[in-house]
Amino acid sequence: MENLDQLRSDVLQRVSESETLEALDGVRVQALGKKGEITGLMKTLGGLDPEARKAAGQALNVVKQEVADAIEQRKAVLEEAALEAKLAEERIDVSLPARPAHVGRMHPISQTMEELVAIFGEMGFSVAQGPHIEDDFHNFTALNIPPEHPARQEFDTFYMNEKEDGSRPVLRTHTSPVQIRTMQNAEPPIRIIAPGRTFRADHDATHSPMFHQIEGLVIDTETNMGHLKGTLIEFCRSYFGVDDLPVRFRPSFFPFTEPSAEVDIGCTREGGQLKIGAGDDWLEILGSGMVHPKVLEACGIDSTKYQGFAFGMGVERIAMLKYGIPDLRTFYESDLRWMKHYGFVPLEMPSMVRGL
């Protein structure tokens, strides 16, 4: 028992020097465990006489309590420190700048299509669609291009395998079959545009086997050539953003319109540089005409009661002209450098990543 004071201060020192919860538990076991130092002393009490046992027992109990309290306190301190360390380690630095969100570019074809839909939408046209794989009737015959008609040769048509009934579906060579489908399914008045993919077996700097067209169709009782001209002049000026853009209607031929006109816009080509606007040169941009009575009749529309106009143009071509893109093939090469140069930054959309 003489050593009790010494043991007390030893154990308390070991407690206060414990740097981890594991080390502290080791100290506890060493002092108060079954075979611990203080427990060992407790066991020696039995050998003392009653007087001495009482005094020594009390003294031991005080030390035991003191050591237990010190361990509890140290434990609280170490637990707090462990929590602090964990929090510090897991801290999120909210002041770090966010990683930049990469915004993709809109392809010039998508952009141009949107512009076309917006311009004609303002004039009261709605958008119609049709299948890419067409039958002969919609792509040719109903458009007044009967079998053996020489106009069929001009189209470089992609034919599909023959079906059981002997017919051969085609990849549509123009968006004009959407005119036919619309007239078969809707009562006039009709005022639609049909933007979409078209296919021809042709590939060079100004032709791609897959390309885009936009078709327009207006059918009503009074629709005349003046409406055709007014609509297309308005369209050309709006699309190219030139208020006084000269627009010329040149007589032409299409099997599905009569009369037919090709539309040219004014331009200059000084120094090899094409500039759209007033000038002494002309550039062809689309085909148009009054819908042929045979086309109306093929769709079950009474050509003595209704008439209208139609037009069609190549989307790549007018995109190339407006945005100065020299080679049509580059539209479909998926070259990211090209997209960064000619692509459009889409409208800012609220996003959860970049914040509202």
Interacting residues with ligand DAH (CB under 6 A): 174, 176, 215, 254, 257, 287-289, 310-312
Residue number with CB closer to ligand DAH (26 or 259): 259
Cα Rg, the chain, nearest whole Å: 44
Q: How far is the CB of 262 from ligand DAH (least distance, A)?
A: 8
Residue type at position 3: N
CB of 99 to ligand DAH, least distance (A): 47
Catalogue the long-range contacts made by 336-341 (C-beta closer than 8 Å, 24 or more residues apart). Answer: 339/105, 339/107, 340/105
Minimal distance in Å, beta carbon 325 to ligand DAH? 21
Cβ-based nearer residue to ligand DAH, 182 or 257: 257
Closest CB to ligand DAH among 206 and 268? 206
Which of 208/288 has CB closer to ligand DAH? 288
Q: Whole-number minimum distance, CB 311 to ligand DAH, in Å?
A: 5
DSSP state of 330: G
Q: Which is nearer to ligand DAH, 215 or 316 (CB)?
A: 215
CA dist., res. 71 & res. 16, Å (int): 8
The helix/strand/coil state of 114 is helix
Cβ proximity to ligand DAH: between 224 and 351 the closer is: 224
CB of 355 to ligand DAH, least distance (A): 47
Whole-number minimum distance, CB 278 to ligand DAH, in Å? 26
Q: What is the nearest approach in angstroms of ligand DAH to the Cβ of residue 344? A: 26
Separation CA 73–CA 20 (nearest Å):
13
Q: Which is nearer to ligand DAH, 124 or 324 (CB)?
A: 124
CB 232 within 8 A of CB 288: yes
Continuous segment of H or E residues that includes residue 340: helix 336-342
Q: Which residues lie across from 159 on neighbouring strands?
A: 170
**Closest residue to ligand DAH in the complex (CB):** 312
Are 282 and 255 in contact, with CB atoms under 8 Å apart? Answer: no
Q: Which of 232-236's residues contact partners 24+ apart within 8 Å by CB, and which partners?
A: 232/263, 232/286, 232/288, 232/311, 234/123, 235/119, 235/120, 235/123, 236/263, 236/265, 236/285
